[in-house]
Structure 1
Amino acid sequence: MSLFAAVALLATAPVASETPDPIVVTGTPVTEAEQRERAQEFIRRTGVAELRPVARWIAPICPRAIGVGDEVAAIVEQRVRDVAIAAGARVAKKGCSTNVAIAFASDGGDLTREMLRKSPKRLAELSPSERERVTNGDDAVRWWYSTQLQSRDAVSASTAPLPWIVGHSEGGGPVIQGAGPTLSHRGSSIVGTQAVRALTAATVVIDVERAKGTPLDSVASFAAMVAMAEMDGDPPPPGNSILALFDGEDDRRTLSDADRTLLRAIYSLPPDREAHQHRQRLVAAIAKPAGDD
C-alpha cells in the first residue's frame, strides 16, 4: 500500500476515541408553589366549586344525543358513557330515562331560546349574565344544569339554612347567606355539611354551524366534560383542557391529563363539604406530580 493510500485510509477511518456530541436537555424545573398556582388557575377557569360545593351526578347518568342520525348519536352517547366510567361516575343501562341531553342544532341560540320559551324555569339556576350568554351568546357549545339538594344519606330536602352562600349579586342585591330547601340527616360531623348538591339534569347544545370542521369525537368529548360536573362557561377556559377546543387551541382535541384528573377527583370527593374544601382538594389533585400515589 502506498503512503498516499495509507494516509487516505486513515483520514476516512473513524477514530475509536471520537464520540458524538452529547445532547443536553435544559429546562427550568417547576417548583411546588408554581405547580399549585397553575392548578389553582386551572380550577378557577373551569368554575368548579367557585362559590358553591361541587354538583355532580349521584344517580346514574343516562345520555341521549338528539338532532343527529342514530349512528352519530350512538358515537356521542358512548363517548359520554366512557368519560363517565373513567371518572368513577355511575352509568345507567340503555333504555334508561334521559338526564343528559346533548342537542345538535343549526343555530344553538335559536334552539336555546325556544327551549326557554316553552319552559321558562329551564334556566332558573343561571345568573342573569350566564342566562344572557347561553341564550344570546355566540359559543359553539352552551350548557346548563338542574341541581337538587340531598342529604348525605340521600334523604330528600327539608328546612334549615343552606350551608353555603346562595344567590347572585347580579340579580340586584348582595350575595347573602340564604335560607332555602333544607335537609334532615342521620349522624353528625364537625367537618361535613348536612347537604349534598346533586346534578339531576344537564343540557348541552351544540351549534353545528359554529362547530363545523371540528371532529365529532372532540365535540363529544367536550360535551362529556361539561356534562359530568357543574362547570362555568363564562371564564376563559384553561388552555390545557378540552374546554379550550373552540378558543384557538388547535391541538386540544381530546380530554387532557388535567381534565381526566379533575373528573376523577370530583367523583372521589366527600360530597358533603363546603366549596373551599372541595376547591382545595381539587387543586391538590391537579398539582400532584404525575406518577405520585
Structure 2
Amino acid sequence: MKIHAILRRTASALVLVPLIAAADQAQTRDLRNDPDAPIVVTGQRLTREQARERAVTFVRQVGVARGDISAARFVDPVCPRVMGIAEPYAGMVRTRMLAIAQAAGIAVGREGCQSNISVSFVGDASALMREIDRRSPTRFNEVPRDERAAMLNGDAPIRWWYLTETRSRYSMRNAPQSMQTETGGQTGGSAVTSGALEADALSHYDAGSHVSNQVNRAIVDANVVIDLDGVEGRSLQAVAAYAAFVAFSEVRPSEPPPTGSILGMFGAEPQADALTDWDMAFLRALYNLPLDRQARRHRGMLVRDMVDFQTRG
C-alpha cells in the first residue's frame, strides 16, 4: 500500500522550528506499509566461533561502549512521539517502534506517557539541524565533535542524537553535593565556582563491590530526524525500524556500518526493510546488560549474549 506522506505545518521535536510545506511542493512518497511485516529477518546459521567473530565486529561498528565510555540505554519505559507526517501514518511508525521494543525486551510506556523519543519527518533535515544549533547549540552537547559537522551539513537521510545522564546503579538520579576543590573553591552540583574541578557525587550502597562501577549511564531522551526526500522509495516500516534501532541504543556507527544490519539500508544493505536477526540480538543483549560495568566488560557481555542468541537451538 502506498502512502501519500504530505508535509504539514508542524514543529521540530526540540526547538519548534516551523516546517512549512506549500501545497505545490507536496509529493507522493513511496512509503509502503505492511502491518504484518516481520520484525526479524532470519539469517544463515553460523558456528559459535563464526558468530563470535561477527558479534565482535558488529559491536565495534555500532559504536556502543566505545573506548572507556560504558554502554547506555533507556532505563525508563520508552515512549515515542512521531511528528511531521499525517495520521494514521505517524501511528503506524509508533506502533512499529513499540512492537520492536517489546520483541527486544524493552519496557514500553503506558498510553498517554510522557515522550522520551522524538521522531520528526522533515523536508530539509540539514536546514533543521542548523536552525536547532543556531537557536540552542547546547542541544548537541553530547554529539562528538567529529560527527557534529556531518549532522549539521551532511546529507544523511536519518540523523539522531541523545541526552544521557549518570545514575546510581539503583537508577537513582545524580545527587549533587558540594565539595572542596584544590584551590579552595566549592562546587554545587556540576557548577564550579572556583578552581578547575567539576564533579557530581553519587550515593553508593555497596562501594566494596569488585565488579560494579556503581553508576549507570541512562538515555533519557533520543531524537531522530528523518529527511523525507532522503528516504523516498523506502517503506514506512523500514524507516520506522531504522528509527527504532538508533533510538533504543546509543549508536555511533562506523563506516561502513555492520554487515547484515538495517544500519546499511542506505548503503551496503539497500534491500534491508526490517531489523535483521543481528540487530535484534544486539538490542536484546543491550537491554539484558547490567549497566554498572566498565566499557570493556560491556563489550564482552554484548558479544557473549549476541552469540548465545544466535547459536541457541
Q: Does 1:268 align with 2:288?
A: yes
2:257 — aligned with what? Answer: 237
Q: Which residue of 2 aligns with 1:25?
A: none
Partner residue of 1:103? 120
Residues 1:46 and 2:62 aligned together: yes
Query: How far apart, CA to CA, are the structure 2 residues paired with 1:117 and 1:70?
Result: 30
Q: Residues of 2 paired with 1:133 and 1:243: CA distance?
A: 17
Alignment of 1:1-293 (within 5 A): 32-51=48-67, 52-158=69-175, 180-188=199-207, 189-288=209-308, 290-292=310-312
Q: Which amino acid aligns with 2:261?
A: S
* Secondary structure at the counterpart of residue 180 of structure 1: coil
Cα drift, residue 135 of structure 1 = 0.9
Provide the rounded CA distance (Å) in 2 between the counterparts of 1:31 and 1:71.
43
Superposed CA deviations along residues 133-191 of structure 1, whole A, max 9, x for unmatched, are 2111111111000000000112222469xxxxxxxxxxxxxxxxx96333112123110
SS at match of 2:224: strand
CA distance in 1, matches of 2:156, 2:286: 25
- What is the aligned length? 248
In structure 2, list runs of 5 or more residues that go unmatched: 1-44, 178-196
Question: Gaps (5+ residues) in structure 1?
Answer: 1-28, 161-177
Q: Which amino acid in the other structure matches residue 275 of structure 2?
A: L
- TM-score norm. by structure 2 comes to 0.75
Measured on the aligned residues, the alpha-carbon RMSD in Å equals 2.0
> Which has the larger Rg?
1
1:134 maps to amino acid: M
Q: Give the 3 Å change call, closer, same or farther, for CA 98–290 of structure 1 in structure 2.
A: closer
Does the residue aligned with 2:88 lie in a helix, a strand or coil? helix
**Partner Cα separation in structure 1 for residue 276 and residue 283 of structure 2:** 11
Q: Distance in 2 between matches of 1:186 and 1:89?
A: 27
Structure 2 distance, partners of 1:113, 1:104, is 16
Tell me the residue number matched to 2:21. none
Helix, strand or coil at the partner of 2:275: coil
1:130 positional shift: 1.3
How far has the Cα of 1:84 moved from its partner?
Answer: 1.2
- Distance in 2 separating the partners of 1:265 and 1:133: 29
Kindly provide the CA deviation profile for residues 37-69 of structure 1, in whole angstroms up to 9, marking residues without a partner as x. 221111111111112111100111110111111
Q: Give 1:231's aligned amino acid.
A: V
TM-score under structure 1 length normalisation: 0.79
3-state SS of paired residue (1:183): coil
Q: Does structure 1 retain, via aligned residues, the 8 Å contact 2:264–2:272?
A: yes
Change (3 A) 1:111 1:89: same
Matched with 2:4 is none
Is the Cα contact below 8 Å between 1:149 and 1:181 reproduced in 2? no
Residue 287 of structure 1: how far off its partner (Å): 2.7
- After TM superposition, give the deviation of residue 35 of structure 1 in Å: 3.0
Percent identity among equivalent residues?
39
- What amino acid sits opposite 1:50 in the alignment? R
